[in-house]
Amino acid sequence: MENIWDSLQSLTDANTIIGLGFYVLLVVVFAETGLFFGFFLPGDYLLFMAGIFCAAGKLPVDISMLVLSLAIAGILGNYVGYWFGYRTGPLLYKRKDSWFFKKRYVMVAEEFYHKYGGTALILGRFFPIIRTFAPIFAGVVKVSFKKFTIYNITGSVLWVSVLTLAGYFLGRSYPEIENYLQYVILAFLVITTAPLIFAFLKKKLISGKSVKENEIDNKDI
């Protein structure tokens, strides 16, 4: 059991993933963007760290090849997520929660999609959990495959390019940033999870107000 837990912990550590090699990095990005159990994998800061490691020569691949390969992995991952949602459909809402699947994550992706429309597939790339479940929900509601393809490619290219190149150029300009990677990771966790926490608290607050209003209305009756 401890070995399994250690393995799962290593999968959430960007240093470990990148240290395992270029192809493992691609597999992790693919899994996080298309497989429903990949929601716990690092995404944003993994790309950023890959850029830093590439600049430092610790990831032996050209930056253009790195960006292209990561973008393709993200595109293919979303296609798998779309196919999974398309095939399973409403069954996802009936599926029991488990360690690898949470029904509320699909609902979060659904709310995000209803709020932003098709662009949710682009914006969602920059948010954990939504990044994994947005393409699955797109398959559930059977978004046009042509439209999905446009959003999928655009979102993946933007997501990978922005974060990987930001890490690469920062690493080239400030090589000493390698000594402060723990702070970089912490900053990314705060930046990427803060909007989700805010949305959750806002929803709770609105729900609480609705309950109180109903109680007042019932008393008046």
Reference 45, options 28, 21, 20, 65; nearest CA is 28
The phi and psi torsions of 98 (rounded to 5 degrees) equal -145, 180
CA gap 11, 122 in Å, rounded: 25
| pLDDT > 60? residue 112 | yes
Q: Is 57 left (phi over 0), alpha (psi -120 to 50) or beta?
A: left
Maximum CA pair distance of the chain? Answer: 72
CA gap 211, 204 in Å, rounded: 10
At 120 the three-state DSSP class reads helix
Flag whether the pTM goes above 0.85.
no
Predicted local distance difference test score (pLDDT) of residue 101: 67
Mean of the per-residue pLDDT values for the chain? 77
Average pLDDT over residues 30-51: 79
Tokens found for residue 7: 């393995």
Tokens found for residue 36: 């429903």
Number of H helices, E strands in the chain: 11, 0
| pLDDT > 60? residue 7 | no
| pLDDT > 70? residue 57 | yes
At 73 the three-state DSSP class reads helix
Query: Amino acid letter at 220?
Result: D
DSSP 175-207: GGGGGGHHHHHHHHHHHHHHHHHHHHHHHHHHH
Q: Which residue has the higher pLDDT, 78 or 105?
A: 78
| pLDDT > 90? residue 165 | yes
CA gap 138, 148 in Å, rounded: 8
Q: Which residue has the higher pLDDT, 169 or 96?
A: 169
Predicted local distance difference test score (pLDDT) of residue 174: 80
CA gap 188, 87 in Å, rounded: 34
CA gap 42, 181 in Å, rounded: 14
Q: How far lies 29's CA from each of 33, 129, 175, 204, in Å?
A: 6, 13, 25, 32
| pLDDT > 60? residue 200 | no
pLDDT band at 9 (very low <50, low <70, confident <90, very high): very low
